[in-house]
Amino acid sequence: MATGLAYHEDFLKHLTSPQHPERPARLLAILEGLDQAGLSKGLARLPVRPIEREWVLEIHSPEYVRRLEAACQDGLPYLDTPDCAICRDSYRVALLAAGAAAAAIDAVMARQVRRAFCAVRPPGHHAEHDAAMGFCLLNNIAIAANYARRRHGLRRVLIFDWDVHHGNGTQHAFEADADVFFCSIHQDPRALYPGTGYAAERGIGPGEGATLNLPMPAGSGDDDYRRILQGQFLPAAEAFEPELVLLSAGFDGHADDPLASIRLSDEGFAWMGRMIRGLADRFASGRLVSILEGGYNLDVLRRCVAQHVAILEGG
């Protein structure tokens, strides 16, 4: 069974600036890497269209969605914070990115593909219920998790976020929900944006215990990640017995990324990819959807995303 690729050329129309870390060249590097690795022709290209507004409004407030749409229509340079650069096309492209994640869910659930990778931008995991943050406009993975449960009747969904920055928006979307297990491994929030994701943040009310934050000291590398994930994440994830696994796949924890101080190697990302694929195989009939988040070194993206997609294919 083929691996799915959810991509649309209009993702390149979300224009930031040539100096902005989250820029169209990121996706061009990824596509180039897939071609160079001989992977492109074997992937199942998934049809991508903008997600319906109703699904967005289950994660984001109506007032926020109106502000986002209006800011783009008015040609404002950013929304809420200067790092969330926008252009006139950004609202439509954000809907398209969330739609790509939903299309991947549909394809995996219909057994058209076993696993899927969503090469999308803008990223999503920092976007809050009522605010843009950290390059993110709509929370793609939170919308996808809710979509999987409502559209396909799944109960237990696991979200693993290995981006170097804490997935604050995703955590807040589900922190009171016992049926979405969220784990984020990231650089210690005392020294890195967004300043959330402490180990004591374990969920609230009925969701207490379904949030697992694994903050890592600056300079942590492959062995440190392996030890923590084997010791804390895997036992908790296996006890949860997910029916679907979603991955916030940020590649900014690489030693060569300019925005953080974690020291993962290509092999460190490969090990994590095999780990999460194995978890999906054991508990979720292989159902795994990986959604691009951060990663700002183009050479790293070119290599590591191709490696990641090969692992999704079973390599």
Instruction: Point out the residues that are catalytic.
Output: 126
What stretches of the chain show up as alpha helix (H) in DSSP?
A: 25-36, 53-56, 62-73, 90-109, 140-152, 168-174, 222-228, 234-240, 266-283, 298-312
- State the Cα–Cα distance between residues 306 and 315, nearest whole angstrom: 11
- State the Cα–Cα distance between residues 210 and 236, nearest whole angstrom: 9
Q: Under DSSP, is residue 185 helix (H, G, I), strand (E, B) or coil?
A: strand
- State the Cα–Cα distance between residues 283 and 10, nearest whole angstrom: 35
- Tokens linked to 261: 């101080």
Apex CA 290: angle with CA 286 and CA 295, to 5°? 150
Apex CA 279: angle with CA 277 and CA 284, to 5°? 95
Apex CA 77: angle with CA 19 and CA 135, to 5°? 60
